[in-house]
Chains A and B, each alone.
Chain A
Amino acid sequence: MTIRRFLRLLPVVPSILLLLLFLLAPVAWSFYASFTDAALSGKAARDPQWVGADNYVRMFSDDSFPLAAWLTVVFVAASAVLGQNVLGLLIAVLMTRSRRVVSSLVGTAVVAAWVLPEIVAAFAAYAYFNRDGTLNQVVDILGGQGLDWLYSFPLVAIILANTWRGTAFSMLVYRAALAEVPRDIAEAALMDGARGWQRLVFITLPLIRSSIATNLMLITLQTLAVFTLIWVMTAGGPANASTTLPVLAYQEAFKFGDIGYGTAVASVLILLGMVFGAVYVRLLREQRP
């Protein structure tokens, strides 16, 4: 009987092997390598030495890690939690009231930024925020003074770009959630004289709170991992002013050849992802008894 039960689970094996080899092994190797002086080339590449917690100690004595950690927090809070989440909800709510033509056209525009390959979106954003780019042209027309966004305000530029790129996800989640809100509840509120925004805050939002929580978790995880957009737009510069943790891990490992320190930064990022992932799984478990 047990053998039969085991045989039944046999088809799961290929997936488990793939996950072990290409997901679990790199994570385990990351934690291991972060305690060594592994390098991209030279003697330490062939024969890495165990250095204990040196890389982690260096993290907090170095200026670049605390800065990158802080920039990551600001980037995630501003572009995901505030930007994508609030804008996505706003668009979804507006769509329930607007003409269908308008909402489907605008929906297409928002989704286009999200479906495009990341490198294309990154180039488009780079051109847009460039000194000669579209944004400064608009500023000019409005009578303002153009700025060198990517150089003077790199963090603002990548936050706006990531909001532009990712809002579609929140919009789709909230459209689906709002469609499930029973109509009679909203109508009853209308009878009681609830005004539009009160209805939204006191009735609609509590009804879709599980979607809000799930969405926040997912976009936080996605934004934590953003690399290409930042790398193309500012390459983390100028002078680390837009270096978030993924960019820092990449630079330390591939630009400076310090795999040990790079994996230490990556390990911190993986741990962060695990914490958010665990919260996310718990949220979904509670929703489905």
Chain B
Amino acid sequence: MTTSSLRARDRTEGTTAGGSSSFKARLGADIALAVIGICFLAPLLWLLLAAVDPQAGYQTKVPSAPSLANFRAVLTPELLIQPLANSFLLSTGTAVVNLIAAVLAAYPLSRYQSRFNKPFMYTVLFGTSLPVTAIMVPVYGLFVQLQMLDSMAATIFFMATTTLPMAIWMTKNFMDSVPLELEEAAWMDGASAMAALRTIVLPLMRQGLGVVFIFVFIQAWGNFFVPFILLLSPGKQPAAVSIFSFFGQHGAIAYGQLAAFSILYSVPVLVLYALVSRGMGNSFALSGAIKG
């Protein structure tokens, strides 16, 4: 993927070296893109300005007396620390379950030829396309029946399962790119398949595993609907759900605090995304996920 993004850069450079008509075309493209970019930023501008404005409303305006008061106000254990800790627990749990299950499943699928492989992989791919919001009503029913409502562990396993098809698909693709020869040497020396997986394959696909982990973590961190339905007690709710505490019981909305909280809650996923895309080219994770 890195090579193709390099090639993309070559192409960009190539088209620029031309006469004045291509200069005009390039300027046109620049202006059109800039307009689109401004339109995409506009809704986020409110978030940034309201966060530093203690008197914020829904209007986008430069604060008359900018301060960090909103950030100070939300920086309490109940408002910020507990929900973020819950988000962290949910997302890390989900990513760990995903990674373990996906690595175990991907190993035989990647290493042994079997009639079972292809149908399984296509079933998994089919699973990625189930609309998760559609199954929340039945999942709620199921959780009531099995008495798993308000259980952090059960929520983690459910969230992990919703991203598992994608994780298996990605992990298998990463594993396929680790050459088989190294393992064969280990097998000759009498190492078991699981030992070869642990000592040879996994270290070689560290980066890929990192991508899968971050990919799942970001999705779980941002998920609102699943914990909203499955976790009832406020002490267990992640930031995505606890954010509603800024909509006061009496109709008063603390806009500035809402914006400040939103920013603090968003920073981890922005950093993680930057980490993945910086390291491996912008479309890496994505194309690994969908193109195979």
From A10, A112, A119, A253, B243 is in contact (CB under 8 Å) with: A119
From A5, A128, A280, B129 is in contact (CB under 8 Å) with: A280
Q: Are A96 and B57 in contact (CB under 8 A)?
A: no
Stretch from B4-12, B73-81, B183-191, B201-209 at the A interface = B4-12
Q: Are A95 and B33 in contact (CB under 8 A)?
A: yes
Write 18 A-B pairs (CB below 8 A) sorted by A numbering: A18-B157, A19-B124, A21-B161, A22-B161, A23-B135, A26-B142, A33-B138, A38-B141, A87-B36, A106-B36, A110-B36, A120-B265, A132-B57, A133-B58, A227-B225, A254-B137, A274-B126, A277-B129
With A25-B142, A179-B7, A180-B4 as given contacts, are A15 and B133 in contact (CB-CB < 8 Å)? no
Q: Is A50 an interface residue (CB 8 A)?
A: no
Q: Is B85 an interface residue (CB 8 A)?
A: no
Q: Are A133 and B116 in contact (CB under 8 A)?
A: no
> Which residues in B have some Cβ–Cβ distance to A below 8 Å?
1, 4-5, 7-12, 14-16, 25-26, 29-30, 32-34, 36-47, 50, 57-60, 97, 100-102, 104-105, 107-109, 112, 114, 116, 120, 122, 124-142, 157-158, 160-162, 164-165, 168, 193-194, 218, 221-225, 229, 239-240, 243, 255, 258, 262, 265-266, 269-270, 273, 277, 282-283, 286-287, 290-292
Q: Is A67 an interface residue (CB 8 A)?
A: no
Q: Are B224 and A98 in contact (CB under 8 A)?
A: no
With A8-B193, A98-B33, A179-B4 as given contacts, are A130 and B58 in contact (CB-CB < 8 Å)? yes
With A132-B57, A179-B4 as given contacts, are A22 and B109 in contact (CB-CB < 8 Å)? no
Residues of B contacting A133 in the complex (Cβ-Cβ under 8 angstroms): 46, 58-60
Report, nearest first, the 4 A-B pairs whose CB atoms are least far apart. A277-B129, A117-B222, A106-B37, A30-B138
Q: Are A98 and B108 in contact (CB under 8 A)?
A: no
Residues of A contacting B25 in the complex (Cβ-Cβ under 8 angstroms): 97, 196
Cβ-closest chain A residue relative to B128: A277
With A123-B258, A124-B47 as given contacts, are A178 and B139 in contact (CB-CB < 8 Å)? no
Q: Is A159 an interface residue (CB 8 A)?
A: no
Residues of A contacting B142 in the complex (Cβ-Cβ under 8 angstroms): 25-26, 29
Q: Are A113 and B44 in contact (CB under 8 A)?
A: yes
* Distance to closest chain A CB from B160 (angstroms): 7
Residues of B contacting A214 in the complex (Cβ-Cβ under 8 angstroms): 290-291
* Bound CA–CA A259/B143 (angstroms): 13
From A94, A130, A249, B134 is in contact (CB under 8 Å) with: A249
Stretch from A55-63, A78-86, A261-269 at the B interface = A261-269
From A91, A172, A245, B286 is in contact (CB under 8 Å) with: A172
* Bound CA–CA A217/B128 (angstroms): 12
Interface residues of A in 1-56 (CB under 8 A from B): 5, 8-12, 14-16, 18-19, 21-23, 25-27, 29-30, 33, 38
Q: Are A22 and B129 in contact (CB under 8 A)?
A: no
Q: Is A64 an interface residue (CB 8 A)?
A: no
Known: A5-B112, A117-B269, A120-B265. 4 other contacts (CB 8 A): A18-B97, A123-B262, A263-B138, A270-B134
Q: Are A179 and B222 in contact (CB under 8 A)?
A: no
With A12-B104, A118-B222 as given contacts, are A173 and B33 in contact (CB-CB < 8 Å)? no
Residues of B contacting A249 in the complex (Cβ-Cβ under 8 angstroms): 133-134, 137
Q: Are A116 and B269 in contact (CB under 8 A)?
A: yes
With A19-B164, A179-B11 as given contacts, are A27 and B137 in contact (CB-CB < 8 Å)? no
Residues of B contacting A250 in the complex (Cβ-Cβ under 8 angstroms): 133, 136-137
With A110-B37, A269-B131 as given contacts, are A116 and B222 in contact (CB-CB < 8 Å)? yes
Q: Is A137 an interface residue (CB 8 A)?
A: yes
From B29, B137, B255, B287, A97 is in contact (CB under 8 Å) with: B29
Residues of A contacting B127 in the complex (Cβ-Cβ under 8 angstroms): 19, 23
* Distance to closest chain B CB from A171 (angstroms): 9
* Distance to closest chain B CB from A118 (angstroms): 5
Residues of B contacting A135 in the complex (Cβ-Cβ under 8 angstroms): 42
Q: Are B130 and A273 in contact (CB under 8 A)?
A: yes
Q: Is A134 an interface residue (CB 8 A)?
A: yes
Q: Is A241 an interface residue (CB 8 A)?
A: no
Q: Are A115 and B164 in contact (CB under 8 A)?
A: no
Q: Are A120 and B141 in contact (CB under 8 A)?
A: no
* Distance to closest chain B CB from A259 (angstroms): 6
From A11, A127, A228, A272, B108 is in contact (CB under 8 Å) with: A11
From B26, B240, B262, B277, A98 is in contact (CB under 8 Å) with: B26
Q: Are A115 and B224 in contact (CB under 8 A)?
A: no
With A9-B116, A117-B265 as given contacts, are A111 and B139 in contact (CB-CB < 8 Å)? no
Q: Are B43 and A115 in contact (CB under 8 A)?
A: no
With A27-B135, A133-B59 as given contacts, are A103 and B33 in contact (CB-CB < 8 Å)? yes
Residues of A contacting B221 in the complex (Cβ-Cβ under 8 angstroms): 117
From A105, A111, A127, A270, B130 is in contact (CB under 8 Å) with: A270
* Bound CA–CA A14/B11 (angstroms): 45
Interface centre among A113, A117, A125, A164 (most CB of B within 10 A): A117
Q: Are A172 and B131 in contact (CB under 8 A)?
A: no
